[in-house]
Amino acid sequence: MAETKAPPKMDQAKSFLSGGFAGIATVLAGHPFDTLKVRLQTSNQYKGLADCFRQTVAKDGLLGLYRGMGAPLVGVTPMFALSFWSYDVGQQLVYTFTPSRKSNELTMLEFAIAGGFSAIPTTVVTTPMERVKVVLQTQDQAGATGRKYKGMFDAGIGMVREGGIASLYRGTIATLARDVPGSAAYFVAYEFFHRLLRKDSESLSIPAVLFSGGMAGVAMWSIAIPPDVIKSRIQAAPAGTYKGFIDCGVKIIAQEGPGALFKGLGPALLRAFPANAAGFLGRAASLEVMHRLW
């Protein structure tokens, strides 16, 4: 009887660096959609996606769609690096806890476990980055209160001065509620479609990576919008507005109805495919380059 091959070993440096390249590609491709999503989630001044786009461009020009991009570009790069590294760590943990497995090919459930695990350490970077981003994206909306920040560093320093480090981590529970199931769906969708489409597991198939990455984004945001709405509200509101994740969700439903929890779904899904297709391609392409270099 043939012995099962040893589980694939993880290259820590390549895993981390390729995730960083994925983050850069994702932000560049998807930030305009993210700006519209956050604005729709945190204000009632827009009639819909098209109206939000029109008002934003009319007031700030096309560059207004890239407002707050500095924070995610600085934050998403290490965030994605940590996310993909944590995902690989999660897979290694699955192998560790299943020493008698007959096959080294992970099941979709095991990919989901590794994906959900990846969100936990990533939250350390995600929460403060998104807190700064959300404030910068919404501070000039009708009804907004508080000082206006000139950029991400000014915003970050201002928040720490006003509320300490805890201010930057406002919305941590909501971030976890969004990202643990969202990341599980994200990586399962990618692995499912990539396994279905690739013809040669040893070579890079750009169409397979693009489609699988795009579908990963769609899968995540199809289930992540309600907790994301709550997260955006908590992070954009003045301190003390909400007691926590549940309180915010209850108040949103009571004041605006259940449909309010799905605000921003349109731009989120529009952004999901191109942004994450670009992200996974950035990761795959950078891995190809690194494999050739060392």
> DSSP labels for 119-162?
HHHHHHHHHHHHHHHHHHHHTTSTT--SPPPSSHHHHHHHHHHH
Neighbouring CB atoms inside 10 A of 259's CB total 10
Question: Is 1.20.80.10 the CATH number for 12-293?
Answer: no
pTM of the model: 0.83
pLDDT at 147: 56
pLDDT at 145: 56
Task: List average pLDDT for each run of 10 residues in the chain, which is 294 residues long.
Answer: 66 94 91 87 87 91 83 82 96 93 93 97 91 87 65 90 93 96 98 89 85 97 95 92 96 96 89 94 95 89
Q: For the chain, what are the domain ranges? A: 12-293
Residue position matching structure tokens 């690194």: 290
- In angstroms, rounded to a whole number, what is the distance separating the alpha carbons of residues 138 and 29? 20
Query: Which residues are CB-contacts of 75 (< 8 A; sequence separation ≥ 6)?
Result: 125, 126, 128, 129, 130, 132, 133
pLDDT at 1: 41
Amino acid at residue number 60: D
What is the token pair recorded at 122? 């990533």
pLDDT at 70: 79
pLDDT at 72: 76
